[in-house]
Amino acid sequence: MANQRFKNELRGNQDDPDFDLDSYIDEQANASDTETFDPEYVDPPTSTKRNIIALLLFAVIPAVWFLTSSPISVFNFDNGNQTTVSQGQNVVQAPLPPAAPLPPRISTTEGVTSVYLDYLQAANEAGYTNQINPTGIRALYDSGVPLSYLEQMNQAGFLDDFSYSGIIGLYNGGVPMEYLTMMNEAGYLDDFSYSGIIGLYNGGVPTSYLDQLNVGGYLDDFSYSGVIGLYNGGVPNEFLARMEAGGYLDEFSYSGLIGLYNGGVTVEYLDRLNAADLLNDFSYSAIIGLQSSGVTTDYIIQLKEAGFLNTFSYSGVIGLYNSDVPVSFIQELDSRSLLVDMSYTDVIRAYGDGN
């Protein structure tokens, strides 16, 4: 601002014939120190908190979109009817029947007394030291497990069924006595570790779904994490039965079964791939993509017989098929030594240019 003022004054005084530039410069140099100058603008420091939030949003939003919005997401938990086109056929997957809500989580805000000796004395007077050794009592105290939770377990008859580490896990996992009672009455309490029970409860798995798997003979085929995934993926016994009848139940992981079910993949499509010895050439996500895109097994067989199946990814196969690129054109490119440097999009473009 001072520089601008100097320019304005200089410009205004240029019209004065008696104006002495040297005297003016001396006058400005000796100006009073009390003159106020406008402070220079300084960019505010970057907010670390804003940067962190922006980075988190940048990472989380695409991940959430992928898991919940992708048409072939294996974690599509919409239990509505799933309809997928399979070579001209509409496939409707039957949803799971609604289950009764699980009992609410226990409150873990009660805490324990601030004095360990008081906790130990109360545990001793209640007789818990006869069932839990001193190391366990100390661990329970350090983990914030109140004696009231031990009392609930004791009254329900579960105190002898779990180690102190199991009790700590159940308490911190929010597992109520009602769920343990449901699991016990259904005969599953001894079938799962305490970590499995915690996972099943927090995964929202009702005992009725365990009953369905058990009746179908599938309960022993999956870990508790597999059971949680199948339930939240909406996979019914009927689909597992069809996969077992076709000989595919052991061919896929539980995440693969979830993906195939929600992707609308039929056993008939798997049969065609298997009959052509193509089943082991693709992952379950590739199979989902191939069927949902309408790629026929005949086209895949042609690619394999011509030696091009490993040349392209499954997305490449889908692109070539949906662009009507014949295998004969790919063979012509290969015979001219052009294919080695081309992506599948290059092949599609080259075919389109020539047609």
User: DSSP readout, 297-336?
Assistant: HHHHHHHHHTT-TTTS-HHHHHHHHHTT--HHHHHHHHHT
The rounded distance, in Å, linking the Cα atoms of 67 and 305 is 36
Distance CA(348)–CA(330), nearest Å, equals: 10
Q: Is the pTM of this model over 0.75?
A: no
235 within 8 A of 264, measured Cβ to Cβ: no
Domain boundaries, the chain: 1-41, 111-172, 293-355
Identify the pLDDT of residue 22: 52
pLDDT at residue 8 in the model: 44
312, two tokens: 């392209």
In terms of phi and psi (left: phi > 0; alpha: psi -120 to 50; beta: otherwise), the region of 157 is left
The reported pLDDT for the residue numbered 75 is: 38
Would you state the pLDDT for residue 93? 60
Take residue 192 and report the two structure tokens written for it. 């799962």
What pLDDT sits at residue 76?
40
CA distances from 298 to 184, 186, 273, 276, 301 (A): 52, 49, 10, 9, 5
What confidence score (pLDDT) does residue 115 get? 86
Query: According to the model, what pLDDT value does residue 133 have?
Result: 94
Tens of pLDDT, residues 157-184: 999 999 999 999 999 999 999 999 999 9
Q: How high is the pLDDT of residue 136? A: 97
Q: What pLDDT, on a 0 to 100 scale, did the predictor assign at position 224? A: 97
pLDDT of residue 18: 52
> Quick check: helix, strand or coil at residue 82?
strand
Q: Do the Cβ atoms of 234 and 262 come closer than 8 Å? A: yes
Alpha helices in the chain (DSSP H): 2-13, 21-29, 48-69, 116-125, 134-142, 147-156, 164-172, 177-185, 194-202, 207-216, 224-232, 237-245, 254-262, 267-275, 284-292, 297-305, 314-322, 327-335, 344-354
Would you put residue 89 in left (φ > 0), alpha (ψ -120 to 50) or beta?
beta
Q: Classify each residue of 198-232 as buried b or exposed e, where b means 16 or more C-beta atoms within 10 Å of its C-beta.
A: bbbbeeebbbebbebbbeeebbeebebebbbbbbb
Please give the pLDDT value at position 39: 40
Q: What pLDDT score does 265 carry?
A: 96
Tally Cβ neighbours within 10 Å of residue 7: 10
Nearest-angstrom CA–CA distance, 293 and 84: 9
Q: Are 118 and 273 in contact, with CB atoms under 8 Å apart? A: no
Spans of the chain below 50 pLDDT: 1-17, 19, 21, 24-25, 29, 31-92
